Amino acid sequence: MAPRWLSLALLAVAAPSTLGSPTGGRLDTRDDSGNEAFSPPYYPAPHGGWLSNWAEAYEKAHHLVSNLTLAEKVNLTTGTGIFMGPCAGQTGSVPRFGIPNICLHDSPLGVRNTDHNTAFPAGITVGATFDKELMYERGVGLGEEARGKGVNVLLGPSVGPMGRKPRGGRNWEGFGFDPVLQGIGAAQTIKGMQSTGAIASIKHFVGNEQEMHRMSSVVTQGYSSNINDRTLHEFYLWPFAEGVRAEVGSVMMAYNDVNRSACSQNSKLINGILKDELGFQGFVLTDWLAHIGGVSSALAGLDMSMPGDGAIPLFGDSYWGPELSRSVLNGTVPVDRLNDMVTRILAAWFKMGQDQDYPLPNFSSNTDDEEGPLYPGALISPSGVVNQYVNVQADHNVTARAVARDAITLLKNEGDLLPLRRNDSLKIFGTDAGPDPQGLNSCADKGCNRGVLTMGWGSGTSKLPYLITPQDAIANISSKAEFHITDSFPSSVEAGSEDIAIVFINSDSGENYITVDGNPGDRTVSGLHAWHNGDELVKAAAEKFSQVVVVIHTVGPIILEEWIDLDPVKAVLIAHLPGQEAGNSLTDVLFGAYSPSGHLPYTIPYQESNYPESVDLIQQPFGQIQDDYTEGLYIDYRHFLKEDIRPRYPFGHGLSYTTFEYSEPALSVITPLDTEYPPSRPDKGSTPTYPDTIPPASEAAWPKNFDRIWRYIYPYLDNPESATAVANSSETYPYPDGYTTDPQPAPRAGGAEGGNTALWDVAFSVQITVTNTGRRPGRAVPQLYVELPDSLGLDTPSRQLRQFEKTKTLKPGESEVVTLDITRKDVSVWDVVVQDWKAPVAGEGVKIYVGESVLDSRVECEVGGGCSTL
């Protein structure tokens, strides 16, 4: 957690309720007519524990929870308060049964705010590799480092934002602007992370597409992302479903509202979609300080409050903690709900094996000092050793370098200027090639743009243990390189006719609690243009040199028009956000040891006005922003295709130093799609049961002779009997409309983690032979897009990425047969009336395209009609 609590100290209690007009509205989940977005109530919270792959973990959890007191249970649901421990957040503990404070900590690219860790490439870089194995390997590295530092829950991967807003500050934390790329990236990352015993936390669920106005304060309410049911299912929910299917242990809710109900207490999203339809078995937590209501959130399905604080952080108050104890004792929150929260938390803990020798935190994200206060937020705190400086890097630099290298995306390479030769005469320009002049990690959470851009800023960062800059790496290889680490083109530079200029530029963004060069997280001031007058630098170089290579480190789409067509600009590379191995990964490609094999995880437009207006950032000083997702599914390339707008570089584009030919395409039917809707789901299995009697008040009483830490959040009450007295009085709690304790019928689209397992039946598979037809080794990325038939009766994007594979390194002349699987879900649309996924029977009319980008199809297949090369 960043020291941004000050700016948050004025958080409002006011919460958009999960209620609204029961008549629904324009963005109602079932209906697109009317006026107001509305999130329907969905109660009660479904129990976890009905799936066989979680059975053992649930059995252990059940046994333990059966023996816990009220205070012990509450302790596991609530953080101890911000800055009340080493991690971004930690729950209370249950020493009686050896359960420590569960440590939850950032980030999706490395353990944050510590030492001797690896700063891996960011999510957007991982997406650009289109390499499932590297996605997994990086996940393993992240998990091993989390474990090594004693982090129980690593707060990633991020698949929300999804890149709806090109200027959005945190798009770079995720894998790209497409639900399938995000879904595969997330699933592979989660599997890798959790293979080490660390619990992953997929975030931010959902609709957190811009940074400004994401949170509630006394003057304004966080924006409401108004998303209709179909768009939610076919786009924004997709990667979360893949994450749940990968058995993710926890889900973090977003700050904002969805359809006018705050995500942290949105019963439709948590109870209905996540826990019932997607069959999520782990636990649901708030984003930091996003908790805005006690009973409401418990009933809506929230399981953990992070970092535990109430409306005003650092006061020792909480919406839960003692208040949850009270609301259970007075009968408002059913004891059954509390039992389910704790069972879910412990089931995830047991499932990852954290009961077996899992390390305790051996670092402090609050200080670099060896010794310090154990609870810095307490003002008066016991002190001790807080940093043991445990080195968790192992050989993860190898994976970090491989990811950064295999993500490098070659946009243009006229006259095969690249790869460079060792003895080429090079002139290098731009501060983005060099170090931060003020020192490594000189600004907290990377809240500055100095030197090579290795990651964006905010909580999604980690410190760099070291940094190989492009300058270091080029100097290592070339003795004929001259460096001008400046963003103002030096007028004195002489350009020989053989000289090659390499110009480094970048574009940065981050999280809202830090403003960098006027950009409050989102790219408000910089827009989609290079920072530090990067365009001018390229143009100045192109005026003097006849051969210019441009290297771009960027958080997302960037406009290249001021110089991309200038004659001297021969080659352009996007190196994304490479982490600590920035330099080595780049020279691996620049000097030809590897062919570039990254592909764009988003579209690069000619101009920003090519995007629909509805995806602009929204700023509004007062009143809640209603952000209506009127463009529906038409995000990124889906929009460009629909409006017939030519992009500068399409989604999926990426050149190599060699060329590939696709041949012998074949389409096979694997599981026939005999029915429009998937076969019926299985019934739910049984879930743990507990007595539903309210525990004795004494279970929430302060233990005798207890040494309290000031401002620490405990589960205890001064006078627990008074809560029980309320339970016996006539006072009643105003339950939300639609509240019930009778279980809902099992949603037909559910049945297992992620949904009905039949959705992942492989319906078709496409085989192609990819041959390296050029003169250098290289790796191809065949991407498979589907076009769904009109017979489904719905407007669908004309291409949707559904699968990709990356070949091994093919030598010149070498071939590989690649198989690309297409599932039932891949050819389905979400039927808002039936509330299920609907496919064309037998896949009739489905068209399939395989190619090197969304616009570069090499193979076309029609179900029933065979395939041809194009």
Q: Which is nearer to ligand BGC, 144 or 287 (CB)?
A: 287
At its nearest, how many Å lie between ligand BGC and the CB of residue 128? 21
Q: Which is nearer to ligand BGC, 290 or 505 (CB)?
A: 290
Two structure tokens written together for 818: 């690649």
Question: What's the rounded Cα separation, in Å, for the pair 574 and 517?
Answer: 22
At its nearest, how many Å lie between ligand BGC and the CB of residue 170? 8
At its nearest, how many Å lie between ligand BGC and the CB of residue 211? 9
E-assigned strands of 111-239?
A: 153-154, 199-205, 224-226
Q: Which is nearer to ligand BGC, 88 or 346 (CB)?
A: 88
At its nearest, how many Å lie between ligand BGC and the CB of residue 399? 22
At its nearest, how many Å lie between ligand BGC and the CB of residue 459? 4
At its nearest, how many Å lie between ligand BGC and the CB of residue 190? 15
Residue 394 has a CB neighbour count (10 Å cut-off) of 13
Q: Which is nearer to ligand BGC, 78 or 332 (CB)?
A: 78
At its nearest, how many Å lie between ligand BGC and the CB of residue 600? 25
Phi, psi of 531 (to 5 degrees): -80, 170
Question: What's the rounded Cα separation, in Å, for the pair 246 and 191?
Answer: 6
Q: Which residue in 239, 132, 127 sits closest to 179, CA to CA?
A: 239
Q: Which is nearer to ligand BGC, 89 or 451 (CB)?
A: 89
Q: In the beta sheet, which residues pair with residue 838?
A: 829
At its nearest, how many Å lie between ligand BGC and the CB of residue 320? 17
Q: Which is nearer to ligand BGC, 460 or 750 (CB)?
A: 460
Q: Which is nearer to ligand BGC, 127 or 665 (CB)?
A: 127
Phi, psi of 770 (to 5 degrees): -110, 125
Burial class (CB in 10 A: 0-12, 13-18, 19+), 498: exposed
- The separation between CA 796 and the C-alpha centre of its own chain, rounded to angstroms, equals 25
Interacting residues of 547 by C-beta distance below 8 A, sequence separation 6+:
417, 499, 500, 501, 568, 570
Phi, psi of 473 (to 5 degrees): -70, -40
Specify the DSSP class assigned to residue 661: E
Q: CB–CB of 810/778 below 8 Å? A: yes
At its nearest, how many Å lie between ligand BGC and the CB of residue 203? 6
At its nearest, how many Å lie between ligand BGC and the CB of residue 287? 5
At its nearest, how many Å lie between ligand BGC and the CB of residue 173? 8
Burial 165-188 (b: 16+ CB within 10 A, else e): bbbbbbbbbbbbbbbbbbbbbbbb
Inter-residue long-range contacts of 312-317, CB under 8 Å, 24+ positions, other chains counted? 312/9, 312/10, 312/11, 313/5, 313/8, 313/9, 313/11, 313/81, 313/82, 313/289, 314/5, 314/9, 314/81, 314/82, 314/83, 314/377, 314/711, 315/711, 316/81, 316/710, 316/711, 316/712, 316/713, 317/713
Q: Which is nearer to ligand BGC, 252 or 500 (CB)?
A: 252
Interacting residues of 65 by C-beta distance below 8 A, sequence separation 6+:
73, 339, 342, 343, 346, 688, 690
Longest dimension (CA), the chain: 91
Q: Which is nearer to ligand BGC, 200 or 786 (CB)?
A: 200
Strands 250-253 and 199-205: parallel
Strands 153-154 and 199-205: parallel
Q: Which is nearer to ligand BGC, 169 or 647 (CB)?
A: 169
Please give the residue ranges that form the binding site for ligand BGC (CB under 6 A).
Answer: 1, 88, 106, 155, 203, 287-288, 459
Single-letter residue type at 60: K
287 has catalytic annotation = yes
Q: Which is nearer to ligand BGC, 326 or 463 (CB)?
A: 463
Question: What's the rounded Cα separation, in Å, for the pair 253 and 413?
Answer: 43
- Can you give the three-state secondary structure of 674-706, one letter per residue? CCCCCCCCCCCCCCCCCCCCCCCHHHHECCCCC
Q: What is the DSSP string of 361-425?
A: P---SS-SSSEEESSGGGSS--EEE--------TTHHHHHHHHHHHH-EEEEEGGG-PSPPTT--
CA distances 667 to 180, 662, 760, 783, 854, Å, are: 21, 14, 18, 15, 19
473 Ramachandran zone, left/alpha/beta (phi>0; psi -120 to 50): alpha
Question: What's the rounded Cα separation, in Å, for the pair 479 and 425?
Answer: 9
Two structure tokens written together for 212: 């400004």
Catalytic residue among 287, 340, 406, 836: 287
Q: Three-class SS of residue 484?
A: strand
At its nearest, how many Å lie between ligand BGC and the CB of residue 213? 14
- The separation between CA 740 and the C-alpha centre of its own chain, rounded to angstroms, equals 33
Two structure tokens written together for 20: 């609204």
Two structure tokens written together for 712: 């620490």
Q: Which is nearer to ligand BGC, 160 or 434 (CB)?
A: 160
* Residue positions annotated with a catalytic role: 287
